[in-house]
Amino acid sequence: MNFKNFDELLGLVKGKTNRIVVPGANNDEVLTACKMGVDHKIISGGILIGPKAQVEEMAKKVGLNLAIFEIIDMTDLQEICNRAVDLIREGKGDFLVKGLVDTKFYMKAILRKEVAAVPEGRVLSHFVLFELANYHKLFSVTDAAILISPTLEQKVKITENAVEIMRALGVEKPNVAVVCPVEKVNEKIPSTLDAAALAGMNREGKIKNCVVEGPYDVYISFSKELAAEKGIKGAVVPGNTDIALFPDLDSANPVYKCLSFFGAGMKSATLLAGSNIPVILPSRTDSPMTKLHSIALACYLKDAAKVAAK
């Protein structure tokens, strides 16, 4: 990876010019993140959408200088999200930063037919990048917010979304652990059947530019020693996981939130993967630091896409 931690990432994107669009800007956490982004010189301005009086009051509370921001006074959550997406399409901002709006309204705005945010044949998925004190590198968890019970075909696309982002971050051939409750294929546990199928598709070259192994439990995915204790031999991924693919929302979302809440020295960033418009997708209750890191990650990927396009 081109950076070892989020502090390095912030250093790499410092001084970049980025305008953000924030639907639901009447939120202390997102406005604090905006102030941090301005202070770190990765936000140069943008558009804040929400009840104007509340936005102004909260901005004053967190010390955000509104001189470089435009405020659009709106209260209907769906209309706020629609307007935010339209502003990005019109080139009025570089990426969306989710504020105090429900994910269902946010996603509905993005998925409008006229927006054409999802390229044909792809799906949208949630990508969260974690830095933990007790793991030796950054790794991602997916899909923790979008697809409730993905099919095997959708799991292929979720994997491809995550691999694409990790490759843009400098991981040439990401290691994907397909996480399940157990490490052996069991017909009574459908996720293990999907895991074996995904690993087979990777070996056959149908899922490219990565190494996919599983079914693995969490211990095997993140510890080479524990994998050996469980009899896993000749594997590449254990203890060296870049992407942890979880079976469904019921498993991925609690893991994401537990890591965020209890993780020792935890830092994270969250994005919407698979979209052709740049979207930051944190939880409404994620910390301002997580939102700052998400902005920094979106900034980095924006620049990486420009380089790739040349």
Please write the tens of the pLDDT for every residue from 3-49.
999 999 999 999 988 899 999 999 999 999 999 999 999 999 999 99
Return residue ranges of the chain for CATH 3.40.718.10. 125-269
- Can you give the pLDDT at residue 118? 86
Portion of the chain with pLDDT greater than 70, in percent: 98
DSSP structure class, residue 103? H
- Can you give the pLDDT at residue 285? 74
Q: How far apart are CA 49 and CA 66, in angstroms?
A: 13
What pLDDT, in 10s, does the model give residues 224-245?
A: 999 999 999 999 999 999 999 9
| Residue 58 in this model has a pLDDT that exceeds 60 | yes
- Can you give the pLDDT at residue 287? 85
Q: How far apart are CA 290 and CA 32, in angstroms?
A: 11
Q: Does domain 125-269 have CATH number 3.30.365.10?
A: no
- Can you give the pLDDT at residue 264? 73
Return residue ranges of the chain for CATH 3.40.50.10950. 1-117+275-310
What class does CATH assign to 1-117+275-310?
alpha beta
Q: How far apart are CA 291 and CA 24, in angstroms?
A: 14
**Exposure string (b/e) for 111-121, b if CB count within 10 Å is 16 or more?**
eeeebebeeee
Least confident stretch, 67-81, 115-129, 155-169, 187-201: 115-129
Mean pLDDT of 213-223: 96
**Per-residue confidence band for 310, with pLDDT thresholds at 50, 70 and 90:** low
- Chain centroid to CA 134: 21
- Can you give the pLDDT at residue 309? 56
Q: How far apart are CA 196 and CA 212, in angstroms?
A: 9
